[in-house]
Amino acid sequence: MNILTMDDMELDGKRIFIRVDMNSPIHPETLKIIESIRIKEAAESIRELKNSKVIVGSHQGRVGRYDYTDLSEHAKVLEEYIGRKVTFVEDVIGPEARRSIESMSDGDVLLLDNLRFCAEENYEFSFKDAANTVMVKRLAKLFDLCILDCFPSAHRAHPSIIGFPYIIDTCAGRLVAKEVESLNNVLTVAKGPYVVVLGGSKISDRLEAIETLIQGGKADKVLLTGLISVIFLMAQGKFKANSLGIKEEALLDKARKLLQKYPNVFILPVDYATENNGKRVEKDLDEFNDNDIILDIGSKTIDIYDKIIRSAGTVFMSGPAGAFERDDFAYGTRALLESAASSLSTTIVSGGHMTTALKRFGLYDKIDHISTAGGALVLYLAGKKLPMIEALEMSYQRRLTLNAKAKL
């Protein structure tokens, strides 16, 4: 893979568009940012651009969801991380955004509003069509170069990610360069058996990840925790859908098909922890009643999973096993992370929640690769080409061609 990095570019005095991914967990009631690790990551490259005019672009949430908000709060958090003023512009491609960009001085940092407020950013395009969007045509002429530093969004062929590189010089930011180098080093030594441990609440994303990893030969065993494990147990008839208030029939159908297609891959919990009078209580599957709420996996499940993890060649973990924010229900998440950290396996941990958990449990330095990326990381591990990486390779090749012509 050949890509340009910030070390290959003349940055001082340039007007630079840097596409980052500051998409953060948002509190559903206060709409405040709950956890800002992705903003902290984005700050690394921006801090270096002290002598440039820096235009920052990011998205937040998806259309129709509560976390589909503006980026005014992100600007305040980013300002703290970079130690410089960040000017927030309540505009994306309109007159106010363009005027603000044109009036910048060296050292200024400007944050455009949520890029997905521009309808085009919610669709995927070919490189040529992305470059022909209104967003790219209006803004590209204002930029000297583009930096892509949004690995968690690397699997999206959105205009802000693949459109600008089609027109202007583009390089990888520090986060992307480090992520790609680290992943390539890890994958060089990765070996089977491949064990995937999936939890969390993003069921549809996890279902896609499972099939992608299995088909890519990177999931010999899939250990399920969290809400997705309940879906699979429902698909097996071991839980009643109405007993837990889950009505996602499409998800249940997908789980059934995966179980039928890959019968020897999935390992499911045999017990869970619930709460009774404010305390942790563990129950086998047949002991649960309609009022019990699953908050963690149980000790029997942890023992089973621990043995499988320790016999793995490579372990990929994404999503907590339960409500790890609560001490009584952090046991499952912590135990599985400790199993991975103390094993001889190559270990990869994904997602903001798991990154937070690693730091909380003092295990951060014991994992081979840690990433806040989700879907992009899964696809990369499975050997899929990511649009952002292709855009960077395209920009490298264009620079090579131009240099060759200049020598003629």
Q: Are residues 216 and 142 located together in one domain of the fold?
A: no
Q: Are residues 105 and 208 located together in one domain of the fold?
A: no
Strands 279-284 and 53-57: unpaired
Q: Is residue 50 part of a domain?
A: yes
Per-residue pLDDT of the chain (408 residues; tens, 9 = 90+): 799 999 999 999 999 999 999 999 888 889 999 889 999 999 999 999 999 999 999 999 999 989 999 999 999 999 999 999 999 999 999 999 999 999 999 999 999 999 999 999 999 999 999 999 999 999 999 999 999 999 999 999 999 999 999 999 999 999 999 999 999 999 898 999 999 999 987 788 788 889 889 999 999 999 999 989 999 999 998 876 544 444 567 888 899 999 999 999 999 999 999 998 889 999 999 888 878 889 999 999 999 999 999 999 999 999 999 998 899 999 999 999 999 999 999 999 998 788 889 999 999 999 999 998 888 898 899 888 999 999 999 999 998 888 777 776
The identity of residue 8, as a single letter, is D
DSSP string, 192-237: SSEEEEE-SS-HHHHHHHHHHHHHTT--SEEEE-HHHHHHHHHHTT
**Number of structural domains in the chain:** 2
Q: Are residues 104 and 208 located together in one domain of the fold?
A: no
Q: Are residues 271 and 354 located together in one domain of the fold?
A: yes
Q: Are residues 397 and 366 located together in one domain of the fold?
A: no
Q: Is residue 301 part of a domain?
A: yes
Tell me how far apart the alpha carbons of residues 63 and 86 are, in angstroms, rounded to a whole number.
25
Q: Kindly report the backbone phi and psi dihedral angles of residue 209, in degrees, each rounded to the nearest multiple of 5, phi listed first.
A: -60, -40
| Residue whose pair of structure tokens reads 């703290």 in the numeric block | 80
Q: Is residue 1 part of a domain?
A: no
Q: Is residue 196 part of a domain?
A: yes
Q: Is residue 271 part of a domain?
A: yes
Q: Answer whether 0.95 is exceeded by the pTM.
A: no
Q: Are residues 21 and 160 located together in one domain of the fold?
A: yes
For residue 221, the enclosing domain spans 190-372
Q: Are residues 61 and 163 located together in one domain of the fold?
A: yes
Q: Are residues 24 and 124 located together in one domain of the fold?
A: yes
Contacts of 225 (CB under 8 A, 6+ apart): 197, 198, 199, 269, 297, 301, 305, 319, 320, 321, 322, 332, 336
Q: Are residues 251 and 315 located together in one domain of the fold?
A: yes
Whichever domain contains 335, its CATH number is 3.40.50.1260
Contacts of 251 (CB under 8 A, 6+ apart): 203, 204, 207, 231
Q: Are residues 221 and 124 located together in one domain of the fold?
A: no
Q: Are residues 332 and 396 located together in one domain of the fold?
A: no
Give the torsion sign (CA, 190, 193, 194, 200). negative
